[in-house]
């Protein structure tokens, strides 16, 4: 995983546009980069757990794809904060940035084709809870199960997790005109939406 983080950092540095205004400490971009790293961390954790709890090739490959892709994205977001001269953690409440006013469509810029441009702010998120996060009890139960039972729980937890991740990505799209942030967030929405459809099929086959 360390290699993937290093690759993500290098990609984040290589793709940073020089003309972009540097986000501030209290910006939606900084909040998103910090909170999404934490959110991704749990998806990686759950994916590593399920690979130890099942021999099913479909589930194991899905978990590997999620863990690898989100580790690389973690590295990108880590690199952004470093380049912006901002700390990786903050005393500001988690998800506070999702309560910021959304930009209008002209301020957001970029290509909105096929994107849901709602502000992505649920009441749960505004209360400080990261949407879609599994509880410690959920993770403990996942670690105790095996085979099809573990697969079903993993899929249910990861589907909720992805739905929360999409919500967070859509929220930053409504609040940021930073090209690199928008590109990554749009990619997250598209990829995780595809994975949600696939996981729904896998869960149906195991019900």
Alpha-carbon gap, residue 18 to 63, rounded angstroms: 35
Q: What is the pLDDT of residues 63-93, one digit of tens each?
A: 999 999 999 999 999 999 999 999 999 999 9
Domains of the chain from N-terminus onward: 28-87+115-205 (1.20.1260.10)
Closest CA to 151 of 44, 47, 12: 47
Q: What is the pLDDT of residues 96-137, one digit of tens each?
A: 999 999 998 765 555 544 445 455 555 444 546 899 999 999
- 29-65 burial code (b ≥16 CB/10 A, e <16): bbbbbbbbbebbebbbebbebbbebbebeebbebbee
pTM confidence score: 0.83
């Amino acid at each position: 995983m360390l290699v993937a983080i290093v690759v993500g950092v290098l990609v984040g540095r290589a793709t940073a546009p020089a003309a972009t205004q540097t986000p501030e400490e209290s910006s939606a971009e900084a909040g998103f980069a910090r909170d999404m790293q934490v959110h991704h961390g749990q998806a990686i954790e759950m994916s590593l757990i399920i690979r130890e709890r099942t021999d099913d090739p479909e589930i194991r490959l899905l978990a590997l794809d999620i863990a690898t892709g989100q580790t690389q994205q973690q590295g990108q977001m880590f690199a952004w904060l470093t380049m912006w001269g901002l700390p990786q953690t903050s005393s500001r409440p988690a998800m506070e940035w999702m309560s910021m006013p959304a930009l209008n469509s002209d301020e957001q810029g970029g290509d909105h084709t096929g994107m849901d441009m709602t502000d992505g702010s649920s009441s749960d998120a505004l209360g400080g809870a990261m949407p879609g996060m599994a509880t410690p009890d959920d993770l403990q139960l996942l670690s105790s199960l095996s085979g099809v039972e573990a697969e079903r729980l993993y899929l249910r937890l990861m589907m909720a997790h992805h739905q929360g991740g999409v919500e967070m990505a859509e929220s930053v799209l409504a609040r940021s005109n930073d090209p690199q942030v928008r590109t990554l967030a749009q990619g997250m929405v598209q990829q995780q939406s595809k994975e949600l459809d696939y996981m729904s099929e896998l869960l149906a086959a195991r019900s």
